Amino acid sequence: MDKTNVLVTGLSGGVGSIVGKFLGSKYKMSGLDLSPSQGFKTHIADLSNLDAIRPAFTNQDVVVHLGADPRGEAPWDSVLKNNIVGTYNVLEASREAGVKRVVFASTNHVVGYIPATQTPYREIFEGELDKVRRPFPLISSNAVRPCCYYAVGKSFGESIGSLYNDKYGLSFIGIRIGGVLQEPDWQVRQKGGLSMWLSHRDAAQIIERSIDAPYSVGFTIVYGMSGNSLRVHEIETAEKILGYKPEDDAGDTFSCDIHNQPEYLNIAH
Amino acid sequence: MDKTNVLVTGLSGGVGSIVGKFLGSKYKMSGLDLSPSQGFKTHIADLSNLDAIRPAFTNQDVVVHLGADPRGEAPWDSVLKNNIVGTYNVLEASREAGVKRVVFASTNHVVGYIPATQTPYREIFEGELDKVRRPFPLISSNAVRPCCYYAVGKSFGESIGSLYNDKYGLSFIGIRIGGVLQEPDWQVRQKGGLSMWLSHRDAAQIIERSIDAPYSVGFTIVYGMSGNSLRVHEIETAEKILGYKPEDDAGDTFSCDIHNQPEYLNIAH
């Protein structure tokens, strides 16, 4: 069987590098990026320029759209250009080229302003772990409560993805990615990170499952966290719809405490 | 007591004219628009130009933000400029000027792609009204399913409104407005309109209640429909939070049938 053609925007970035390392040989993978990734054909162009990015989409089956200003504190002008216009351009180029699915890197920040008091997040942070293990309602993906322009841009991406699925039949899977650390063996250094952590191999797995899921999935939004004991976001939708089975758990210990206790789930400063 | 200072963007437009007619004397009202409205001081500027609109926000208590490309079929470039950038600019100018609340004209189109089969909408359209009157779950304001770029832009407005409330304490009330006809005595001419109709005086009332509600309301999204017998969207949130009590009901008869039966709640073509 021929390999699936997968175009990855932002292949040279943080999550992109993980995708290249874990999945680069499984698919016929290429990049669309501002800079090349070693070992991959890369189309160099700015996502905010629709004409310039179009050629990269020819004959692609699935587009993994990671390219964005990834900073939680990104200013409006950059979010507008890189994340809002960039995501419209990626969807439009995908539609024009007959791409079957876009896998979109959304973020836990789209619900970052949910008060900690609505979850056991404060107890996690304060180390009152016996209080956390009781059953509690997990944050689901129904409503958004963005913490920053970055999250507003990602929420926009989810919304326009819904339109492209309904109107054009372009399958769209949005993954609200948790906390991915730069190196695979780094330990979680913030207590809140015990809840949100997504290991490198779990990140690769949920993206792989999103690429491979039947196109009949159509549209869905899922959370992408590892199987953390102290999780407050639901990954049951990802398990049910995509078959995601995380292999890692951040556990309930942490190496140091660098934050004050948070009022909200995850505010980007 | 001094009148509340209310700035209305798009005061000369369809809903804006209703606001001016019904509420123009209750508040100290002015307009921010591309063209003047008779009887009101109007600051003439384009919402996509932050520098140009700033002066209109000085000393305003509440901004009613109606100004936008109002066409369901508006192309992306216009939605981006007028509705996305325009709404960011209105929120940012409001924040800078210390405005206490923005009342935002959202739209039923943000859930327009919900399949008719999930509601009694098809039965309404087919005149099987006895099937409609049973209790059924009303469309709530949790999730979006936009029908068009126009609706994606309005969904963006709700999302960034949430941020400005959480981050800056700017109260934001988003009203997902139903179907407002041009003249107050026009009859509903589409069967689906029996569900979505919002009369002129009910439109004025829900905007008035949104202006007057305690600032402690903070952030909310409500549907704005009249008290239609064949309603499929919930107005219970607007009743509960804003005290909205619609006076009108589109009833269950219609004057003519100009549409085919719909597959979805409200697609803009």
Percent helix, strand and coil across chain B, each to the nearest 5: 40, 15, 45
Instruction: Calculate helix-pair angle for A14-23, A200-212, nearest 10 degrees.
Output: 70
Which residues in chain B have Cβ-Cβ distances shorter than 8 Å to A155?
A: 156, 159
Residue B261: what pLDDT?
A: 47
Q: What is the model's pTM?
A: 0.94
Any B CB within 8 A of A170 CB: no
pLDDT surpasses 50 at A260: no
pLDDT surpasses 70 at A219: yes
The Cα-based distances of A168 to A6, B108, B113 in angstroms read: 20, 21, 12
Which residues in chain A have Cβ-Cβ distances shorter than 8 Å to B167?
A: 113, 147-148
Any B CB within 8 A of A168 CB: no
Amino acid at B183: E
Mind listing the pLDDT tens digit for each residue in A29-76? Answer: 999 999 999 999 999 999 999 999 999 999 999 999 999 999 999 999
Which residues in chain A have Cβ-Cβ distances shorter than 8 Å to B220?
A: none
Share of chain B above pLDDT 90, in %: 73
Any B CB within 8 A of A91 CB: no
Average pLDDT over every residue of A144-150: 95
Taking the CB of residue A183, how many other CB atoms lie within 10 A of it?
Answer: 7
Any B CB within 8 A of A113 CB: yes
Average pLDDT over every residue of A154-166: 97
Q: Which of B150, B164, B223, B244 is catalytic?
A: B150
pLDDT surpasses 60 at A179: yes
Query: Is residue B164 annotated as part of the catalytic site, yes or no?
Result: no
Closest Cα in chain B, distance from residue A203 (Å): 26
Mind listing the pLDDT tens digit for each residue in B216-238? Answer: 999 999 999 999 988 889 999 99
Distance CA B207, CA B141 (A): 18
**Interchain contact, B113 vs A163, CB within 8 Å:** yes
Which residues in chain A have Cβ-Cβ distances shorter than 8 Å to B152?
A: 156, 159-160, 163
Average pLDDT over every residue of B2-19: 97
Confidence of residue A268 (pLDDT cuts 50, 70, 90): low
Residue B132: what pLDDT?
A: 67
Residue A253: what pLDDT?
A: 73
Residue A255: what pLDDT?
A: 57
DSSP codes of every residue in B49-98: -HHHHGGGGTT-SEEEE--S---TT--HHHIIIIIIIHHHHHHHHHHHHT
Closest Cα in chain A, distance from residue B170 (Å): 14
Q: How high is the ipTM of this complex?
A: 0.93
**Interchain contact, B146 vs A155, CB within 8 Å:** no
Average pLDDT over every residue of B49-72: 97
Residue B135: what pLDDT?
A: 67
Closest CA to B112 of B78, B148, B76: B148
More confident residue, A64 or B1: A64
More confident residue, A269 or B18: B18
Domains defined along chain B, listed by start: 5-242 (3.40.50.720)
Its sign, for the CA torsion B211, B214, B215, B221, is: negative
Share of chain A above pLDDT 90, in %: 73
Residue A140: what pLDDT?
A: 83
Give, for B208, the enclosing helix (H) or strand (E). helix B200-212
pLDDT surpasses 70 at A86: yes
pLDDT surpasses 80 at B175: yes
Sort B149 into a burial class: Cβ within 10 Å, 0-12 / 13-18 / 19+. buried
Closest Cα in chain B, distance from residue A38 (Å): 35
Confidence of residue B192 (pLDDT cuts 50, 70, 90): low
Beta bridge partners of B42: B31
Taking the CB of residue A38, how many other CB atoms lie within 10 A of it?
Answer: 8
**Interchain contact, B80 vs A76, CB within 8 Å:** no
Confidence of residue B208 (pLDDT cuts 50, 70, 90): very high
Residue A161: what pLDDT?
A: 98
Q: Which of A150, A164, A223, A244 is catalytic?
A: A150
Which residues in chain A have Cβ-Cβ distances shorter than 8 Å to B73?
A: none
Q: Do you know the residue count of chain B?
A: 269
* Residue from A91, A159, A219 whose CB has the most chain B CBs within 10 Å, to mutate: A159
Residue B120: what pLDDT?
A: 76
Residue B253: what pLDDT?
A: 73
Any A CB within 8 A of B79 CB: no
Residue A252: what pLDDT?
A: 77
SS3 of B126, please? helix
Residue A261: what pLDDT?
A: 47
Quick one: closest CA in A to B92, which residue? A76
Any B CB within 8 A of A145 CB: yes
Answer whether B268's CB lies under 8 Å from B72's CB.
yes
Closest CA to B15 of B166, B181, B130: B181
Confidence of residue A258 (pLDDT cuts 50, 70, 90): very low
pLDDT surpasses 60 at B152: yes
DSSP codes of every residue in chain A: -PPPEEEEETTTSHHHHHHHHHHTTTTEEEEEESS--TTSEEEE--TT-HHHHGGGGTT-SEEEE--S---TT--HHHIIIIIIIHHHHHHHHHHHHT--EEEEEEEGGGGTTSBGGGTTHHHHHHT-HHHHSS--PPB-SSS---SSHHHHHHHHHHHHHHHHHHHH--EEEEEEE-B--SSTTPPP-STTHHHHB--HHHHHHHHHHHHHS-GGG-EEEEEE----TT--B--HHIIIII---------S--S---SPPPSBS----
**Interchain contact, B156 vs A151, CB within 8 Å:** no
* Residue from B163, B168, B172, B264 whose CB has the most chain A CBs within 10 Å, to mutate: B163
Closest Cα in chain B, distance from residue A88 (Å): 9
Closest Cα in chain A, distance from residue B3 (Å): 33
* Residue from B96, B159, B168, B267 whose CB has the most chain A CBs within 10 Å, to mutate: B159
Which residues in chain B have Cβ-Cβ distances shorter than 8 Å to A76?
A: 88, 92
**Interchain contact, B159 vs A159, CB within 8 Å:** yes
Nearest neighbour of B142 by CB, restricted to A143, A166, A167: A143
What's chain A's average pLDDT? 91
pLDDT surpasses 80 at B18: yes
Residue B215: what pLDDT?
A: 97
pLDDT surpasses 70 at A135: no
SS3 of B223, please? strand
Q: Read off the DSSP letter of residue B179.
A: B
∠ CA(A74), CA(A192), CA(A267), 5° rounding? 25
pLDDT surpasses 90 at B57: yes
Quick one: closest CA in A to B80, which residue? A85
* Residue from A152, A172, A222 whose CB has the most chain B CBs within 10 Å, to mutate: A152
Nearest neighbour of B146 by CB, restricted to A80, A143, A159: A159
